[in-house]
Amino acid sequence: SQTIHQWPATLVQPVGSPLSLECTVEGTSNPNLYWYRQAAGRGLQLLFYSVGIGQISSEVPQNLSASRPQDRQFILSSKKLLLSDSGFYLCAWSFLRGEANFGPGTRLLVL
């Protein structure tokens, strides 16, 4: 069976500091990978998706970037965090029919 891991679960960072969130998937090969952000009281915003190693599509211009150095690894980064980057970050994978399977999420608070 497939599992998806995200870490850390919670993160508190000062404004201007860098960020690295990691997501790994087990039990599947060449999945589509996604980063979503959920701000307080708001829906899910698709940030990035990837259909293969090194292939990243950005949905919205912002302070964040994503990389996929390995088939089942997806990293969300920032060089300098903003207050507006606070939120709940969810990694997900899908295969074929687009059904997204979510990780447990990382709650980021930028102070």
What is the C-alpha separation between 37 and 97, in angstroms, rounded?
22
- SS3 assignment, position 34: strand
Smallest distance, other proteins to C-beta of residue 50, A: 9
Residue 85 phi/psi, 5-degree rounding, is -80, -10
Interface stretch with other proteins, choices 17-25, 62-70, 73-81, 88-96 (CB under 8 A): 88-96
Q: Is 100 in the site for other proteins (CB under 8 A)?
A: yes
Can you give the C-alpha Rg of the chain in angstroms?
13
What is the C-alpha separation between 77 and 22, in angstroms, rounded?
9
Interface of this chain with other proteins, residues 42 to 71, rule: CB under 8 A: 42-44, 46, 49, 51, 57
- Judged by CB under 8 A, the residue of 19, 34, 74, 78 near other proteins is 34
Q: Is 99 in the site for other proteins (CB under 8 A)?
A: yes
